[in-house]
Amino acid sequence: MRLQKSLLICAVAALVCAGQPASAAPWVRGFVVSTYEYAFRYGGRASFTRGHEIEPGVDCPHGSTVHFANEDETRKAMSLQKWRSQQEIDWIVQPPGLDQVRAPIQTRFHIWNRAVAYRGYKRGIETYVNPFAAQDPGQPQVVSRIGDGFNLDGKIGARDFVSPDGEKGIDNALYRAWGCDAPWRGNGNATLDLRANDKMQEGLYTMVIRVSGNQDPMNDDNAIVEIGYSPDKIVKDARGNVATDYSYRILQPAQYTRLKAKIRNGVVETEQVPDMHAPRIAWFYDQTGDAHFRDGRIRLAIAADGTAKGLLGGYRDWRDLYAENTFAQDGGQQGIREHEDHVALYYALRRNADGLYDPKTRQYFGISTAYRITAMPAYVVDPQKPMDIPVLVGEVDRKAAFEAIRAATIKAITTRVPQAVPPGTTEAAVPTLERVIGDLPTKDYFLKTLDRPHYPNEKAETPRPQRRASNDVPARTADAAP
């Protein structure tokens, strides 16, 4: 919605400034972020024009992830647990009687989900809360020397990237670790990028940027950049694109940072600050929250039409990144549908960690990152009264479950002591499998054999026939997205 009073104030300010010398006039420019994603590059020739398809084999010559993409990949994952019998492996991969159920794809999906959620060195250890307890299935990693980002540590290391414009020492270890992960890999069409940007644009959360100064908007040695959360939903135009010149409030209690900056020919470069906060990438409400960058900074290029694009960068705690990606739904569901294995992603993060050294554990818990944004011109204003980030009441329980499993996972990874799955999650397809498996002839075998979390005072689930899902496509469990 338009904030008419704020627009009037901005209009009056513009008229006042118009009568003053441009070199000394206070100025403000605002932006609403329209796309927000990890700054991964995908190699490829500039002349490669096959639609949105990426040119293969440039930065990922070993291919993209294919975990759980088919029966062979699932069998490979199941065979790593020496405690599984051959019958158990065979039946998981090809559940007997599957051709007799109403929804075969959905039924198999949830059997696989439960099975892959318990792949530890012994039965009873949940995989995604305790990824260190499972064998590393291997993650293809980026081998390219070209990468977007910042030189965060002021050094030029042997494993650092070189930026597309030739700057050496670029720190973006997250790209090396996750850049070949299938759902994050694409040139505008990566599935998780598309999902996250779609949800952001549809109102899940809004991020805004405000740049101000007292000299020239294109050249200012003493500018200020503010980045933060807005409670106002993104406005779209008639074609479904993010509209320009609407007003958005910026909140300062959390997910907000104010940075000093210099502007040269329209390129905004902020100072590097010990702690930089901004909204985090999310595609469900439970994931939303603060993206905490250590040694963070921002670069923003402002175009003649008022749009902007650029990077945010810094060291993120890789345990947070792991939890944000894994538990948006549950680890098995996310992994099977997206053909990624979060155990492999965990080991890739750990291998490539390059910041936030903890002398007590002798581990690095930070990984250098860069996030890419595009932004549309907007009026970014302060709220008339101080306010906190709104809470979506209908998702409070789900948000609490996410925070609980995130905390348990961080404790497990840090201490290497296996932790139980907190209640309220859907890990290991609980209780969905019990609900969908009712018409499978071999259901008793799977319900008895496969591990699952158990909680105090939980109600017994009675298996019942599953209604046929539309096209038999597995759906998110209890997943009415906000």
What residue type is assigned to position 272 of the chain? Q
Phi, psi of 315 (to 5 degrees): -95, 120
pLDDT at position 133:
97
The C-alpha atoms of residue 145 and residue 293 are separated, in whole angstroms, by 24
What's the gap between Cα 451 and its chain centre? 28
Residue where the block lists tokens 């990922």: 60
Token pair in block for residue 363: 């581990």
pLDDT along the chain (482 residues), means of 10: 44 42 77 96 59 60 88 95 96 96 95 97 96 95 92 94 93 96 83 94 97 95 97 96 97 95 97 98 96 98 96 98 94 92 97 94 94 98 94 94 97 96 94 93 96 79 39 38 33
Nearest 5°: CA angle at 204, between 200 and 210? 60
In 3D space, the residue among 312, 251, 311 whose CA is nearest the CA of residue 276 turns out to be: 312
Nearest 5°: CA angle at 256, between 37 and 299? 50
The C-alpha atoms of residue 170 and residue 158 are separated, in whole angstroms, by 11
pLDDT at position 43:
63
Record the pTM: 0.87
User: CB under 8 Å to 335, separation ≥6 — which residues?
Assistant: 67, 68, 116, 341, 342
Secondary structure (DSSP) of 112-132: HHHHHT--SSSTT--TTTSGG
Q: Which helix (H) or strand (E) holds 257?
A: strand 257-264
Contact between 291 and 279 under an 8 Å Cβ cutoff? The reply is yes
Token pair in block for residue 202: 């549809």
What three-state secondary structure class fits 14?
A: helix
pLDDT at position 189:
78
